[in-house]
A and B are shown apart, each in its own frame.
Chain A
Amino acid sequence: MNYIDSNLKVVGTRPIRPDGVDKVTGRAIYAADTRASGMLWGKILRSPHAHARIVSIDTSKAEKLAGVRAVVTSADFPNIASEEAFVGEGPMNFRDLSANIMARGKALYEGHAVAAVAATTQAIAEDALALIDVKYEVLPHVIDVDEAMADNAPVLHDDMFTSGVTPKPAKASNIAKVVTFKKGDVEAGFKTAEVIVEGTYTTKPVHQAYIEPHACLATYGSDGQITIHSSSQGHFMVRAYTAKLLGMDIANIRCTPAEIGGGFGGKTLVYLEPVAVALSRKTGKSVKMQMTREEVFRGSGPTSGASMDVKIGAKKDGTIVAVNQILKFQAGAFAGSPIGPGCMCGLALYDIEHINVVGYDVVSNRPKVAAYRAPGAPITSFAIESALDELADKLGMDPLTLREKNAARNGSKTHYGVTHSNIGFEQVLAAVKTHPHWKTPVKTGQARGLACGFWFNIGGESSANVHINEDGSVSAATGSPDVGGSRASMGMMVAEVLGISVDKVRTTVADTASIGFTFLTGGSRVTFATGMAVTQAAEKVVDELKKRAAMIWEIQADAVEWRDGKAFPAGSNAGAFEPLDLAAIALKAGRTGGPINAEVSVNAQGAGAGFGAHICDVSVDKETGAVTIERYTAIQDVGKAIHPSYVEGQIQGGAVQGIGWALNEEYIYNDKGQMENPGFLDYRCPVASDIPMIEAVLVEVPNPRHPFGARGVGEVPIVPPMAAIGNAIRRATGVSMPHLPMSPPTILAALSAAGK
C-alpha cells in the first residue's frame, strides 16, 4: 500500500525515540560496556613501519608473561584466496580483509595489526605486546597518491596488475584499476565550447571520527558456537566476515548488535571481531577488545584522499557542453577506494551532452579506506562544484542560475547509464532561490558560496517483524543497527499502519539469530528498505487482525475495516458490532488461531536519488587565514521526512562533518610514513564553538517506490560543504582554493602566493 497522499497521523511528527531515555541516563549498552564471566582482554600489536617485510615473529616471551593466555598472528587465520565480497559497503576482497586485520608477510601501513594477545587484564595485555619480538625488514614506502602512481614508486603488492586497461600490464604497480565513463563525444563537445575552465584539485583522507572506538566481546564455546557483541553498522556483516575469515559456518555465529557510537561508514567492515574469536578459541574464554583512539586513527579506515583534474566547456549562455574529469583516489593499503561513485556522483547532477571521466584506484602505505558517508561523492563534487563556480564567474553568471540551467531532471540520462526518475533537484534549486539566506544581501566583510551534491541512495535486503503482544501492545524488530534514531522512524511507520499511537510500539534491533538477513546500515538505506519491510510486516498484521475480528464476529474477513487502531464492520451489511481494538483482539488470539505476528523480508528497489544544495557565508581573517562560518543553510530533497527532527539532524551533522573536512581535518605524516596526529587534539574535528546554527530545509518530493515516499537522507549533506565553503572563501579573497583542507596556513600561503 502507498500512504503518500494519506492523511498521516504519526509519520511526519516528532515523537521521543524509544531508546532515548536509556541514552540520556547512561543506561544504553555500547560494545565497550559489555562484560562476560571470566573474560580476558585482547590487545593488538601494530606495525611501527609504513612498509616492512615481516621476517619473523617470536611470541615466546609474551606467552610466558604471567596472565597472558594466548597470542595469535596471521598463522592462526586461514590463508584465504582472492574473492570479491558483497557483504559490506563498497568493494572488498576477502583475502585483503584477512590481511588487513592481521598482516600476512608484509606490514603495509603504520598501525597494521601484526599480532594479538589475550590476557587477564588490559595492563598485562599491553605489557605483553612489548614482549612480542617482530623482526622487520623496512621497505621504502609511499603515501601520496600521485607519488604512488609514479613509475619508480615502491610497489605494495607484487601481484597487482592494473585492471581495466588493455593490454594487461606486464609490470606490477600500485594502480589497482582504471575505470572509464563516457557519454557523447567529449572532444567534439569542447570544440563547440565558448568558455572553458580547468583546474587541479586535491583532497586529503579524512576519518569518520565516530566518538566510540571499535569494540567487541566474543565467546567461542567448546561446542563451536560463537557469540559476538560488537559495535558495527551491520551485525549480519560481522557474522559473514567473521565466518569467512575464520573458515566457520555462519550458522555457528550469533552476533548481537550493541548500541553503536557512530559509524558514518567506518563500521561497515571488521577489524577486531575475527581476532577476538581467534583469541577466544585459543583460550576457551570470552575475549573483549577495544581500540584506543590512537588505534582508531592508525588502524581503521579513513576515506580516500584524491588528486583530480577537471575541464569544463560551456556556451556563453551557460549551457555546459563538455566535461573531462580525471580522478586518482587513494585506496590505502588494499584496492577498493570509492572510485566508482567518485566517477559517477560529481556529474550526476547535471544534464551534459559530452562527458569523459577516468578514475584510478591507487594503493599506498596508509590504512585501508573504509566507507565514509556518500563514499567518493564529496571528493568529486569538491572538484566539480568548485570548477562550476569559476565557470559562473567567467560567464558573468550567478552560480545558482548556472546550476538551474544545467540541472538534471527526470529523464536526464547520466554518463553512467542510469536515467534519472522521480528526482527533486529542480525543486531543491527553487528552494535555494526563494530562501531568505539566498535572498539576503551578503554582509560587509563576508562572502557567500553555493554548492550542490548528489547521492544515489540504496535499497537492498532487509527483514522486519511486528508482533501483537498478549495485551495488545506492539513489538517491532528489524535487523538494522540504529545509528541515528531509526528505531523511532520504524516504530512510527508501524504505528501509522496500525492506526495507533507511537508509544504503543516498542522497536528493537534483533540479533542475527532472531531475524532474517538484513544488509548493513549504510547507503542511506534503512528508512527506505527496512522501512519498507516493517511497513509490509505491519500491513500483514493488519490483515491478520481483520481476519481475527471477522472470526470473533463470525463474518467474512473482507467485511472488516481497520482504522484508528480498531476493527470495524465494513458497513451496515457486515452487521452491528462494537469496534475491536488491539487488546480485545489479542485477548482472543488463542481462540482465533494463535499469536498474531508477521515477518517480512524484502529486497527493496527504487531507493530514489537525493540532491542537496548548501549556502554558506564566511569571513576570512586575511592576516591569519582563519575562516569563520557565519551562516549556513542546507537544503535537501528528503522524499518524505518520517521523523523530521532526525532528518534535520542528519543534514546538520553531515554538513558539519563537511565543514571539518573543508577546513581542518587531515592526516599528517612524517617522513617515515607515520601519522603524527592520531588523536582528537590534532585531528581537528569541528567543536561546538566552531559552528553556527545549521538551518536544514526539508524539500519533500515523494519517492513513489517507498510506502511513505521516503528517500535516503544521511549521505547527501556531506557532499556540498567543501565546495560551498571553498567558493565562499574564493569570493572573499579573490584566490582559488583547490586544495583541502583550507586550513589557516594553506589559505595564508595561497593569499601570499597571489600577492594578497
Chain B
Amino acid sequence: MPGLTYTAPTSVDAAVKLLAGSSGLAKVLSGGTDLLVQMRSGRMKPELIVDTKKIPGIMDIREENGGLIVGAATPGAVVEANAAMNKAWPGVVEALDLIGSTQVQGRCSLAGNLCNASPAADSVPALYAAAATAVIVGSKGRREIPVEQVPTGPGRTSLAKDEFILEFKFPPRPAHSGDAYLRFIPRTEMDIAVVGCGISVTLDDKGVCTAARCSLGAVAPTVLLVQAMADALVGHTLDDATLAKLDAAAQAACKPINDKRGTIEYRTKVAGVLARRAAKIAFDRASGKTVKAH
C-alpha cells in the first residue's frame, strides 16, 4: 500500500475536505473491523484513511424529539449498554450484538456495517425494519435518507466520494411496538449470517398489527425490505394463518445464491422459519413481554 495516509480530523468540515481532496481511493474508518481485513487481504488498497472517530458526537447516543440518535461510529458495545436503545429497539441492539466477537463489539459500528454493504450484515435488516434514517454529510451539505437507500449492491453505496454518515435517527416509538432480529449461522457465534430477518411491528390494544416493517438479509444482493411480509402481518393477530402467510411471503421474496455459506433451497426455507420466529418475538415485545432473542 504505497502512499497510504491516515488522518483523524476533529470536525465534519475537515473530514469532508479530506475526502473531497483525495485523488485516489479514500476510505472512512470507524471501527475498522471490515476495512482492516480487506486491506490486509489486498482486496482494498486505499490511499487515504479518514478516521471519523474524533468528530464530536459521532460516538454518542442521544434523545431528540422523542426519537433516538446514534452516532455513526458508536461501537456495538456502547449501543448495547444504552438503556434507551434497549428499551425502544431491542431488535436493533441484538442485531448489532450479533456482529462478530466481543472483541469486534468493541469496535464495530452501524455505519460501518451499513456502508460495507454486505447483504449479510447483521445490523442492517434491523435498521431497515426500524425505519431508521441516515444523516449524511458531504461537500454539498447535509442530507437525510432512509437507511435502505444507502446500499445499492454488494460493496456499493449511494454515498458520494466526499460523503459519510454522521448519525442514525430512530423515529419515536408508538405504544405497543416491538422489534426483533434473528439470523441463522452454522455455529453459535463468529459466523456471517446465512439468512437474517428483522421485523418491527406496532399493535393495537387487541394485539392486531397496525404497522409492520420486515426485512431479510443474505437472500439477495442487498438486504431486502419486504412489503409483502409486512402486508401479511398488518390487520392480523399472530395466529397460525398469519404466520403461514408471513413464511410464504418471506420465501417468495428470496433471490439467494448458492455459496460457501448456504444453498438456495436452504436459505429460502430458513428465511420463512426465521420470519415466523422473529415475528413472535416482535409481537411479544409489542405486547409488553420481555423476550430474549438469543
Chain A: residues with CB nearer than 8 A to chain B?
A: 123, 294, 623-626, 663-664, 668, 676-677, 680-682, 684, 686-687, 689-690, 743-745, 748-749, 752
Whether A684 pairs with B187 at a CB distance below 8 angstroms is yes
Cα-based distance from A668 to B261 in the complex (angstroms): 10
Q: Specify which of B187, B269, B273 is in contact with A687 (CB 8 Å cutoff).
A: B187
CB–CB A681/B192 < 8 A: yes
Nearest 5 CB-CB pairings of A with B: A745-B266, A689-B188, A668-B260, A623-B273, A676-B260
The CA of A247 and the CA of B219, in the complex, are separated in Å by 56
Q: Which residues of A contact B188 (CB under 8 A)?
A: 687, 689-690
Are A744 and B184 interface neighbours, CB within 8 A?
yes
Q: Which residues of A contact B262 (CB under 8 A)?
A: 745
Cα A178 to Cα B148 in complex, Å, equals 59
> Shortest Cβ distance from A101 into chain B, in angstroms?
24
In the assembled complex, the Cα of A418 lies from the Cα of B260 at a distance in Å of 44
List chain B residues, Cβ under 8 A from A664. Answer: 186-187
* A749 near B265: Cβ-Cβ < 8 Å: yes
Complexed CA–CA distance, A606 and B184 (Å): 50
> A744: which of B41, B186, B189, B190 is its contact (CB, 8 Å)?
B186
Sample of 7 more A-B contacts, CB < 8 Å, known A123-B1, A677-B260, A749-B266: A624-B184, A676-B259, A676-B260, A743-B186, A744-B186, A745-B266, A752-B265
Bound complex: CA A294 to CA B269 (Å): 32
CB nearest to B40 among chain A residues: A292
**Is B22 at the interface (CB under 8 A from chain A)?**
no
B151-197 contacts to A (CB < 8 Å): 184, 186-192, 194
Given A623-B273, A624-B273, A748-B269, check contact A682 B261 (CB 8 Å). Answer: yes
Given A624-B273, A745-B266: A681 and B186 within 8 A (CB)?
A: no
Contact A681 B190, beta carbon cutoff 8 Å: yes
Q: Is B270 an interface residue (CB 8 A)?
A: yes
Residue of B189, B261, B265, B269 touching A689 (CB-CB under 8 A): B189
Report A-chain residues with C-beta under 8 Å of the C-beta of B261.
682
Chain A's closest residue to B277 (CB) is A623
Pairwise interchain contact A686-B187, C-beta atoms closer than 8 A: yes
By a CB distance below 8 angstroms, the chain A residues around B273 are 623-624
CB-contacts of B238-286 with A (<8 A): 259-263, 265-266, 269-270, 273
CB distance from B217 to the nearest CB of A (A): 15
Q: Complex: how many Å from CA A686 to CA B188? A: 9
**Cα–Cα distance between A676 and B262 once the two chains are bound (Å):** 13
CB <8 Å contact, A748 and B187:
no
State whether B260 touches A744 (Cβ < 8 A).
Answer: no
Chain B nearest CB from A642 CB (Å) reads: 34
Number of contact residues on B: which range applies?
20 to 34
Pick from B184, B259, B269: contact of A626, CB under 8 Å: B184
User: Could you say which residues of chain A place their CB within 8 Å of the CB of B270?
Assistant: 623-624, 748
How far does the alpha carbon of A743 sit from the alpha carbon of B259 in the complex, in Å? 14
A294 cross-chain contacts in B, Cβ below 8 A: 41
Which residue of A is nearest B2, CB measured? Answer: A127
Q: Could you list 25 A-B pairs, sorted by A, with CB under 8 Å?
A: A624-B273, A626-B184, A626-B186, A663-B186, A664-B186, A681-B190, A681-B192, A682-B191, A682-B260, A682-B261, A684-B186, A684-B190, A686-B187, A687-B187, A687-B188, A687-B190, A689-B187, A689-B189, A690-B187, A690-B189, A745-B262, A745-B263, A745-B266, A748-B270, A749-B266
Q: Please, which residues of chain A bring their CB within 8 A of the CB of B192? A: 681-682
Contacts of B189 in A (CB 8 A): 687, 689-690
Query: Which B residues touch A676, using CB under 8 A?
Result: 259-260
Chain A residues with CB under 8 A of B259: 676
**Contact partners of A744 in chain B: CB under 8 A:** 184, 186, 194, 266
A259: min CB distance to chain B, Å: 23
Contacts of B187 in A (CB 8 A): 664, 684, 686-687, 689-690
Residue of B nearest to A623 (CB): B273
B235 CB to nearest chain A CB (Å): 26
Taking CB atoms, residues of chain B closer than 8 Å to A686 are 187
A625–B267 alpha-carbon span in the complex (Å): 12
Q: How far is the CB of B280 from chain A (nearest CB, A)?
A: 13
Closest to B101 in A: A687
> What distance in Å separates the Cβ of B257 from its nearest Cβ neighbour in chain A?
13
Contacts of A668 in B (CB 8 A): 260
The CA of A540 and the CA of B83, in the complex, are separated in Å by 70
Q: A66 to chain B: closest CB distance in Å? A: 12
Q: Assess the A748–B191 pair: CB atoms within 8 A.
A: no
Chain B's closest residue to A744 (CB) is B186
Nearest to A621 among chain B residues (CB) is B273
Contact partners of B260 in chain A: CB under 8 A: 668, 676-677, 682
Measured between alpha carbons, how far is A677 from B269 in the docked complex, in Å? 24
Residues of B within 8 Å of A749, CB to CB, are: 263, 265-266
Cα–Cα, bound, A743→B269 (Å): 15
Complex alpha-carbon distance, A668 and B259, angstroms:
9
- A748 and B190 contacting across the interface, CB-CB below 8 Å: no
Listed residue (A624, A744, A748) with the most chain B CB atoms within 10 angstroms of its CB: A624
- Complex Cα spacing A624 to B259, Å: 17
With a CB–CB cut-off of 8 A, which chain B residues contact A624? 184, 270, 273
**Contact digits for B215-235, partner A, Cβ 8 Å, 1 yes 0 no:** 000000000000000000000
Choice from A123, A625, A684 contacting B191 with Cβ under 8 Å = A684
- Interfacial chain A residues near B186, Cβ < 8 Å: 626, 663-664, 684, 743-744
Q: Report the minimal beta-carbon distance from B151 to chain A, rounded to whole angstroms.
A: 21
Nearest CB of chain B from residue A444's CB, rounded to whole Å: 21
What's the Cα separation between A752 and B266 when bound, in Å?
A: 10
Question: What is the CA–CA distance of A689 and B191 in the complex, to the nearest angstrom?
Answer: 12
Q: Which of A623, A745, A752 has the most CB of B within 10 A?
A: A745
Inter-chain contacts of A743 with B (CB < 8 A) = 186
Known A624-B273, A681-B190: A748·B266 in contact at CB below 8 Å: yes
Shortest C-beta distance, A224 to chain B (Å), equals 38
**CA–CA, A747 to B237, complex, Å?**
33
Q: How far is the CA of A201 from the CA of B110 in the complex (A)?
A: 45
Instruction: Please name the residue on chain A nearest to B273 by beta carbon.
Output: A623
Within the complex, what minimum Cβ distance (angstroms) separates B108 from chain A? 14
The CA-CA distance from A36 to B259 in the complex, in Å, is 44
Residue of B186, B191, B261 with most chain A CB atoms under a 10 A cut-off: B186
Closest to B100 in A: A681
B278 to chain A: closest CB distance in Å?
13
Distance A294 CA – B41 CA, assembled complex (angstroms): 9
B195 to chain A, nearest CB (A): 9
**Taking the nearest CB of chain A, how far is it from the CB of B189, in angstroms?**
5
| Residues of chain A lying within 8 A (CB to CB) of residue B194 | 744
Bound CA–CA A748/B189 (angstroms): 20
**Complex Cα spacing A576 to B265, Å:** 88
Min C-beta distance of B29 to chain A, whole Å = 20
The residue of chain A having its C-beta at the shortest distance from the C-beta of B272 within the complex is A623
Select from chain A the residue with minimum beta-carbon distance to B190.
Answer: A687
Chain B neighbourhood of A680, CB < 8 A: 190
Distance between Cα atoms of A745 and B190 in the complex (Å)? 18
Residues of B with C-beta under 8 A to A690: 187-189
- The distance in angstroms between the C-alpha atoms of A743 and B41, with both chains bound, is 28
CA A745 – CA B265 in complex, angstroms?
A: 9
How many angstroms between the C-alpha atoms of A748 and B259 in the bound complex? 16
Write out the residue numbers on chain A whose beta carbons fall within 8 Å of the beta carbon of B41.
294
How far, in whole Å, are A682 and B192 apart by their CA atoms in the complex?
8
In the bound complex, what is the Cα–Cα distance between A513 and B70 (angstroms)?
A: 63
Measured CB to CB, the nearest residue on chain B to A745 is B266
Output the residue of B187, B189, B261, B269 with the most chain A CB within 10 A: B187
Closest residue of chain A to B41, judged by CB?
Answer: A294
- Residues of A within 8 Å of B263, CB to CB, are 745, 749
CB-CB under 8 A from B1, the residues of chain A are 123
